[in-house]
Amino acid sequence: MSTTAVPLRPVAKGSLTRLWVGIAAVALAAGGLAWAGQQGVDPSPAAFLVQNGHADGVVTTESGLQYKVLSEGAGATPTTADVALVGYKGTLLDGTVFDENPQAAMPIDGVVPGFSEGLQKMKKGGKYRLWIPPQLGYGDQAAGPIPAGSVLVFDVTLHDYKSKAELMQLQQQMQQGMPQPGR
């Protein structure tokens, strides 16, 4: 058995230099394209809220809360003395869901200020999207899965609301109608 040797050509002078120059050129081009793609993109909450405030249908309140009416609803709006029955989905700007509940009872004065303000603008049956700036949410404090300084995005449906006094009265009626133990 014989082995045939295949002669290898010697590497031409300067070929390795040209190879490294080519690799460097490709890396620079990729870096330049990445940089160009980031121009005009400011991930800060303040920049997002400024841009979002110019979107169609978005209303910005004096406090900085932004909302968009997705479905108006009917009737009066709740006050801080009420408890609301709501369905909601809370996300961060990147779409990460941090909380969701199809039916939750919430005292309007017992939630973050931006959520409270948004609920007070809604009517029964209404559906809104709220953008809550950090100062009306959790501010510079992290809260569970919510990083500090986050804009909170909520899709909220106001199913119903009752005053705290009405709820207390209903609770008393229910307690009076229940049989007492030992009787």
| Position 41 pLDDT exceeds 70 | no
Confidence band (pLDDT; 50, 70, 90) for 17? Answer: confident
The fold for domain 45-169 equals: Chitinase A; domain 3 (3.10.50)
* Pick from 107-111, 137-141, 154-158, 164-168: least confident: 164-168
Give the 3-state secondary structure of residue 114.
helix
Confidence band (pLDDT; 50, 70, 90) for 34? Answer: confident
**In percent, how much of the chain has pLDDT > 70?**
89
pLDDT of residue 174: 87
pLDDT of residue 58: 97
pLDDT of residue 93: 94
Confidence band (pLDDT; 50, 70, 90) for 181? Answer: low
pLDDT of residue 96: 95
How far is CA 122 from its chain centroid? 19
- Within 10 angstroms of residue 25's Cβ, the number of other Cβ atoms is 10
Buried b (16+ CB within 10 A) or exposed e, 82-97: bbbebebbbbeeeeee
* Spatial distance between the Cα atoms of 5 and 173, rounded to a whole number of angstroms: 101
* Spatial distance between the Cα atoms of 82 and 101, rounded to a whole number of angstroms: 19
**In percent, how much of the chain has pLDDT > 90?**
65
Q: Is 77 exposed, middle or buried (0-12, 13-18, 19+ CB in 10 A)?
A: middle
Query: Mean per-residue pLDDT for 127-146?
Result: 96
pLDDT of residue 173: 86
If you average pLDDT over every residue of the chain, what do you get? 89
pLDDT digits (tens, 9 = 90+) for 22-33: 888 888 888 888
How far is CA 182 from its chain centroid? 52
Q: Which residues pair with 104 in a beta bridge?
A: 86
